[in-house]
A and B are shown apart, each in its own frame.
Chain A
Amino acid sequence: MFPDEFDYHEAESVSEAVDLLEAHAMEETELLAGGHSLLPAMKTGLSSPDVLIDISGVDELRGVSVDGDTLSVGAMTRYSEVLDDDAAHEHAPALTAAIEQLGDRQVRNRGTVGGNLSHADPASDLPGPALVSDATLVVHGPDGERSVPAEEFFFGMYATDIGPSELLVRVELPSADGAVGTYAKKPSPASGYPMVGVSALVATDGDAVSSVRVAANGVMDHGVRLEPVEDALTGETLGDDAIEAAASYAADDLDEAMMMDDLQASAAFRAQLLEVYTKRALQDASERVSASAAAD
């Protein structure tokens, strides 16, 4: 319940945050965003940083904006702010579908998109949507900004491409351009984190699937694309049979020996859930496609 002592610094800007990171490079330093992973870890003694740099109030890190075909989400944008933004729903439906199911009401009022992605918890909800959305993560460090595709951003459990004096500043998502985004999640009953969470982004041309991207959270040590599912479904008519067939390939590229295996679910059961929830994510997409077709 009681964090160990630390020094707290509030950064006013990205450059101040980077300066602070550099100044405290020799100490154990953590960036504080929404705090919903960090503070519980500090309160239960799992994490004891010497220095906390609070970036949650940095204005330039907050907000959702559209620039041409790209939706940009500031790293410190709270989940609830994303959900309140119509453009986010329109251009990044896979992201908003996942955020709707993330945490709980209070967590969504406080937690941030960037905090989530930077933390890279294998059981967090956003790596999958970042992957299916073909997102670019923009990182700022002493040498300025650099862009990292989502595919290259996640290294493994709690490990990303963010360097020691860098921070994630925004996520850029190419517009879904009418594609349907869904998220199907089997939450742990205790923590609410996904045992398996499947994100899908499906575009159709008439009845046929013109493009589909599917990714899973909670199954491996970081979010993963399910390419065999994508390959099987592309060009098919989006219906129960095609979905069932495609979902059966969900675990094909994944090594079950490397799958998450813990108190919440064994690797074998995760593999089963992966297939079931892939099916559900795609069925949901299929229903939404039908509904929007009917509405047209």
Chain B
Amino acid sequence: MSIESLDPDDVDAADILGSAIERREDPALITGEAEYTDDIQLPEMLHMAILRSQHGHAEISDVDTGAAEEMDGVVAVYTHDDVADEAVSRDGSLLIPTGWLLDSLRQVDHPVLAKDKVRYQGDAIAVVVAEDRYVAHDATNAIDVDYERLDASADPDAALDGEAGQLHDDAEGNVAFDWEIGDEERTEEAFDDAAHTVSLDLENQLLIANAMEPRAAVADYHPGTDELDVFMTSQNPHLHRLLMSGVIGHPEHKLRVKAPDVGGGFGCKIHHYADEALVALVARDLERPVKWTSTRTEGYKTDAPGRGHVTTAELAMDDDGNITGLRVDTKANLGAYLSTFAPAVPTYLYGTLLSGQYDIPAIHASVTGAYTNVPPVDAYRGAGRPEASFLVERLASLGAREAGIDPAEFRKKNFVPDNAFPYQTQVAVEYDSGEYGKPMEKALETVDYDAFRERQEEAREEGRYLGIGFSCYIEACGLAPSELAGQLGAQAGLWESSLVRFHPSGTVTAFCGTSGHGQGHGTTYAQIVANELGIPYEDVEVVEGDTDEIPQGMGTYGSRSAAVGGSALVKSSQKLVEKAREIAAHQLEADPADVEFEGGEFGVSGTDRSLGIKEIAQQSYLAHDMPDDMEPGLEATSFYDPDNFVFPFGTHVAVVEVDPESGEIEFENYVAVDDVGNQINPKIVEGQIHGGVAQGIGQALYEGAVYDGNAQLLTGSMQDYAVPKSLHIPDMETESTVTPCPHNPLGVKGVGEAGTIAAPQAVVNAVTDALEPFGVDTVEMPMTAERVWNAVNEQATADGGDAADATDADTATDADADTGGEN
């Protein structure tokens, strides 16, 4: 079941692509040799600490930094006015930009340091720079801020209710945008004509990414050249460089952003925050290296959280249980300001996925974005797609109950049929390829579905409650093409760039504009390039994450690296092979059209004359015998702009036992069958699924950012916010099917987010299936023991049954169970 890793030395060159080889990244990571941002020590380095708002929403009347400035070891203290001094800011905007615009978007200013108002607990007010970390921290405590508290709201419902305190003058009623997709009229007709409908009110709770490495930055300014180096925890150094250059007024070509080893991101290291820009700003001003490392509790208050939807969703069906319509109304929490890609996440990354794996003839969704007093919300692993998949799959289970059809059968009969691809959904996107029945069948076989239903029956008779939950998810990754992204509001292209360079001795360095932070790109990209060039895997080195080394790039997020970055490497490799072919043809005195390339050898067809690509590389640098007008050297750069998104899919199944007395949930099994197209390295794919599922289970059972009525974070440390531990996550069975992507050269789809997208609803569906005898059809996430217990009790109380007496429930509520949804 578990895929066995291979030593790359034991794999034939021809088989390198697709082999589950061990990662080359690991030796540095398991010996302590890796260099994360906080590991960097520079001579004369100073430490920065940030004073943050104590309140969710407040006016600031005064910031007194006098005592802090006088402390031993404090070098400088900056407030909003200090950084606004032109000598410090140059011509920087000092405003955090938004990278995605919508027609209805009400943009608001997001200053790097708050001027006269703070809008979330954690909003930066002042920074201290000192000789060591401890002193910097002490000095922030010595700064005196006069606050006048304002009404605060942490959830979008409250923020939009017309009575909440308004965050921004430019956003009346806290509305950031109104957005819709689909055909409202047609959808209304579908509901008018429906034989069955189900409706679901749900909250997709706010989550905190919790990458194990906190965000950090080290900036080093060289006054002689005006070069400013910023080492930072980044998923996209080029994007950070572009945005930061505007914020701090430093020319892009004099600014270097490098991501050293990065300890996980899950989205929270995509966005441009004030903090890293402030590090760069003060290092330039003081002309000394400066380091800032977020503490975990600081991260809880500032790392962009994700999700945060309050939604009503309805499903319409005909008499036979065919889905005829889907209607969705969502209020999305955007937080206090617009984070980098915030407007895209609850709109184009969400609404476009609402068809799930199903052939739904009418869909309409409306989304209102709300400014609230939580940190700016943005992409967290999955970003929009988990929210979409969650509601579609919850409705599929409720719809099956309502229609009186087995949930697996219900899904199968509504799948987009195999012969309908490419399939145009009612929500703008066109699915590239799919065979949705395949993973479902494999999953049913793996869990032995028929036998499970028998066991479930028997267990219920003994007063034990087993449940099975399905999640037939779809994700979209590698958002593309750039032209479409631009039409939808992106302020950036979504191509990827690479450079593949032969060295004269025949080894290769491959540069790619993605920026891995745990995904093993060094290994998988080398597999791709070695395969394309027909050279040994160990002869390829991969470089990522440094604007000084890599020509251009868009970074790693949205499961895009293999599909877009990998394809860019193929494209550069192919360009390079074409040049090499011409050199080979020239030296072999043959027509390039007659020269074939295979296994690293250029051969003239019909002869035994050939030259190896490494020899051509050497020749290209010697340049003693080149074709006319051809430049020496052997390297190629390319920009790959995909034709479409890629659409991975799969079926996840959770099998649980629920104890109605304690509300506790135990996993009996978790099966993941994923179709991510061709797999470059199946072991790495497996690892991505495991980790993704764990985060999805985290959302289902444990995680959630909780704020009080004053928008104070109550889950502000790892003692309060439950990041799943080893005992919380079950062993999983992972399987796959392979439906190659038809429009990229590798046939790959993307796997980084699949597990996180799929898992929550598999678990919720399993729990509600287990509790069907109690008439429970929904439990909010995270499904804590208390919430499960409450659900059982509330339902039993509503039914006039005995709340705690589990054994009676089976018969008492059997009849009610069939009524399913709450239409």
B41 contacts A by Cβ under 8 Å: no
**Interface residue from A191, A263, A265, A266 paired with B706 (Cβ < 8 Å):** A263
**Interface residue from B296, B714, B717, B728 paired with A189 (Cβ < 8 Å):** B728
B505 contacts A by Cβ under 8 Å: no
Q: Are A263 and B719 in contact (CB under 8 A)?
A: no
Q: How many of A's residues come within 8 Å of B, CB to CB?
A: 19
A257 contacts B by Cβ under 8 Å: no
Stretch in B130-138, B281-289, B547-555 with 4+ CB within 8 Å of A: B130-138
Residues in B neighbouring A44, C-beta threshold 8 A: 297, 717
Q: Are A189 and B702 in contact (CB under 8 A)?
A: yes
Q: Are B786 and A269 in contact (CB under 8 A)?
A: yes
Docked pose: A276 CA to B724 CA in angstroms: 24
Contacts across chains A and B counted by CB atoms under 8 Å: 55
A283 nearest CB across to chain B (Å): 13
Asked whether A276 and B662 contact (CB < 8 A) given A2-B133, A2-B134, A2-B137, the answer is yes
Residue in B closest to A3 when the chains form the complex, CB atoms: B134
Q: Is the interface of A mostly helix, strand, loop or mixed?
A: loop
Docked pose: A149 CA to B528 CA in angstroms: 71
Docked pose: A191 CA to B715 CA in angstroms: 11
B295 contacts A by Cβ under 8 Å: yes
A5 contacts B by Cβ under 8 Å: yes
Residue in A closest to B698 when the chains form the complex, CB atoms: A189
Q: Are A1 and B722 in contact (CB under 8 A)?
A: no
Residues in B neighbouring A186, C-beta threshold 8 A: 662, 785
Docked pose: A269 CA to B663 CA in angstroms: 10
B624 contacts A by Cβ under 8 Å: no
B718 contacts A by Cβ under 8 Å: yes
Docked pose: A265 CA to B787 CA in angstroms: 10
B788 nearest CB across to chain A (Å): 10
B712 nearest CB across to chain A (Å): 12
Q: Are B789 and A190 in contact (CB under 8 A)?
A: no
Q: Are A191 and B720 in contact (CB under 8 A)?
A: yes
> Which among B133, B297, B719 has the greatest number of chain A C-beta atoms within 10 A?
B719
> Which among A5, A191, A266, A272 has the greatest number of chain B C-beta atoms within 10 A?
A272
Residues in A neighbouring B715, C-beta threshold 8 A: 190, 263
A33 nearest CB across to chain B (Å): 19
Residues in B neighbouring A1, C-beta threshold 8 A: 133, 137, 295-297
Docked pose: A44 CA to B141 CA in angstroms: 12
Docked pose: A1 CA to B297 CA in angstroms: 9
Asked whether A4 and B728 contact (CB < 8 A) given A272-B662, A273-B662, the answer is no
Asked whether A190 and B662 contact (CB < 8 A) given A263-B706, A265-B786, A266-B786, the answer is no
**Interface residue from A40, A189, A265, A266 paired with B725 (Cβ < 8 Å):** A189
Residues in B neighbouring A189, C-beta threshold 8 A: 701-702, 722, 724-725, 728
Q: Are A190 and B714 in contact (CB under 8 A)?
A: no
Residues in B neighbouring A273, C-beta threshold 8 A: 662, 785
Docked pose: A65 CA to B639 CA in angstroms: 73
Residues in B neighbouring A40, C-beta threshold 8 A: 719
B661 contacts A by Cβ under 8 Å: yes
Q: Are A190 and B720 in contact (CB under 8 A)?
A: yes
Asked whether A263 and B789 contact (CB < 8 A) given A272-B662, A276-B661, the answer is no
Q: Are B789 and A272 in contact (CB under 8 A)?
A: yes
Residue in B closest to A190 when the chains form the complex, CB atoms: B722
**Interface residue from A5, A190, A265, A272 paired with B721 (Cβ < 8 Å):** A190
Q: Are B786 and A263 in contact (CB under 8 A)?
A: no
A48 nearest CB across to chain B (Å): 9
Residues in B neighbouring A191, C-beta threshold 8 A: 719-720
B703 nearest CB across to chain A (Å): 9
Q: Map CB proximity to A onto B110-148 as digits: 1 under 8 Å, 0 otherwise.
A: 000000000000000000000001100110010000000
Residue in A closest to B720 when the chains form the complex, CB atoms: A190
> Which among B723, B785, B804 has the greatest number of chain A C-beta atoms within 10 A?
B785
Residue in B closest to A1 when the chains form the complex, CB atoms: B295
Q: Are A263 and B714 in contact (CB under 8 A)?
A: yes
Q: Map CB proximity to B onto A127-169 as digits: 1 under 8 Å, 0 otherwise.
A: 0000000000000000000000000000000000000000000
B446 nearest CB across to chain A (Å): 28
Residues in A neighbouring B721, C-beta threshold 8 A: 190
Residues in B neighbouring A263, C-beta threshold 8 A: 706, 714-715, 720
Asked whether A190 and B138 contact (CB < 8 A) given A1-B295, A269-B789, A273-B662, the answer is no
Docked pose: A265 CA to B786 CA in angstroms: 7
Residue in A closest to B293 when the chains form the complex, CB atoms: A1
Within 8 A of A (CB), among B59-88: none
Residues in B neighbouring A266, C-beta threshold 8 A: 786
Q: Map CB proximity to B onto A170-203 as digits: 1 under 8 Å, 0 otherwise.
A: 0000000000000000101111000000000000
Residue in A closest to B786 when the chains form the complex, CB atoms: A269
A271 nearest CB across to chain B (Å): 11
Residue in A closest to B706 when the chains form the complex, CB atoms: A263
Residues in B neighbouring A4, C-beta threshold 8 A: 138, 141
Q: Map CB proximity to B onto A89-119 as digits: 1 under 8 Å, 0 otherwise.
A: 0000000000000000000000000000000
Apart from the given pairs A2-B133, A276-B661, 8 other A-B contacts in the complex at a CB distance below 8 Å: A1-B297, A44-B297, A45-B141, A186-B662, A190-B702, A191-B720, A265-B785, A269-B786
Using a CB–CB distance below 8 Å, which chain A residues touch chain B? Answer: 1-2, 4-5, 40, 44-45, 186, 188-191, 263, 265-266, 269, 272-273, 276
Interface CB pairs A-B, < 8 A, 27: A1-B133, A1-B137, A1-B297, A2-B134, A4-B138, A4-B141, A40-B719, A186-B662, A188-B722, A189-B701, A189-B722, A189-B724, A189-B728, A190-B715, A190-B719, A190-B721, A190-B722, A191-B720, A263-B714, A263-B720, A269-B789, A272-B661, A272-B662, A272-B804, A273-B662, A276-B661, A276-B662
What 4 pairs across the A-B complex have the smallest Cβ distances? Answer: A190-B722, A189-B722, A2-B137, A1-B295
